[in-house]
């Protein structure tokens, strides 16, 4: 059986690769994600797959074949709308809403929550700041709880 991983999706510079490195327990240098990268526990998806709607088919196919769950990130420091309304509903596996960079621009939290709701992600939403360690352990615990019921991570 193919190993199922946590798929991480989000716009450019929202902290995807930083979060992926944390989930994979990797402490090396950051690199730009130019292609889908299968890590120890994760699938790191290029931001272009979200920015260009005709690329959605690649996200859907990857999720169907290899994802135990999906983390959809919105960036609290720059909450631009990049996802189509209802975007999260195309996936068969659980989708978790993550508000990244929660230590920056706290006035944008409501905007981020509204975005997650609009794209079809159900609560709870996880507010994280990887550099500060905020919310990361709660997110990991939630992922473990979800994946222990279904697929392996």
Per-residue pLDDT tens over the stretch 48-72: 898 888 889 999 999 998 999 999 9
Q: What pLDDT, on a 0 to 100 scale, did the predictor assign at position 2?
A: 67
- Number of neighbouring beta carbons within 10 Å of residue 56: 15
30 DSSP 8-state letter:
-
Contacts of 112 (CB under 8 A, 6+ apart): 74, 75, 76, 79, 99, 125
- 7-50, pLDDT tens digit by residue? 999 999 999 999 999 999 988 777 666 788 899 999 999 998 98
From the options 3.30.360.10, 3.40.50.300, 3.40.50.2300, 3.90.1150.10, give the CATH code of 5-149: 3.40.50.300
Q: What pLDDT, on a 0 to 100 scale, did the predictor assign at position 151?
A: 45
Band the pLDDT of 121: cuts 50, 70, 90: very high
Q: Is 140 exposed, middle or buried (0-12, 13-18, 19+ CB in 10 A)?
A: middle
CB 73 within 8 A of CB 49: no
Give the pTM.
Answer: 0.92
């Amino acid at each position: 059986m193919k190993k199922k991983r946590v798929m991480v999706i989000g716009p450019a510079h929202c902290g995807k690769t930083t979060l992926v490195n944390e989930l994979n327990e990797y402490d090396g240098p950051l690199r730009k994600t130019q292609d889908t990268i299968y890590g120890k526990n994760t699938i790191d998806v290029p931001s272009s797959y979200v920015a260009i709607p005709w690329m959605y088919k690649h996200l859907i196919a990857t999720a169907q074949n290899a994802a135990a769950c999906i983390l959809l990130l919105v960036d609290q420091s720059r909450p631009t709308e990049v996802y189509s309304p209802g975007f999260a509903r195309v996936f068969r596996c659980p989708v978790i809403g993550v508000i990244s960079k929660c230590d920056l621009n706290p006035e944008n939290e409501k905007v981020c929550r509204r975005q997650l709701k609009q794209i079809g992600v159900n609560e709870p939403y996880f507010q994280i700041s990887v550099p500060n360690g905020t919310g990361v352990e709660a997110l990991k615990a939630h992922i473990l709880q979800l994946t222990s019921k279904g697929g392996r991570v």
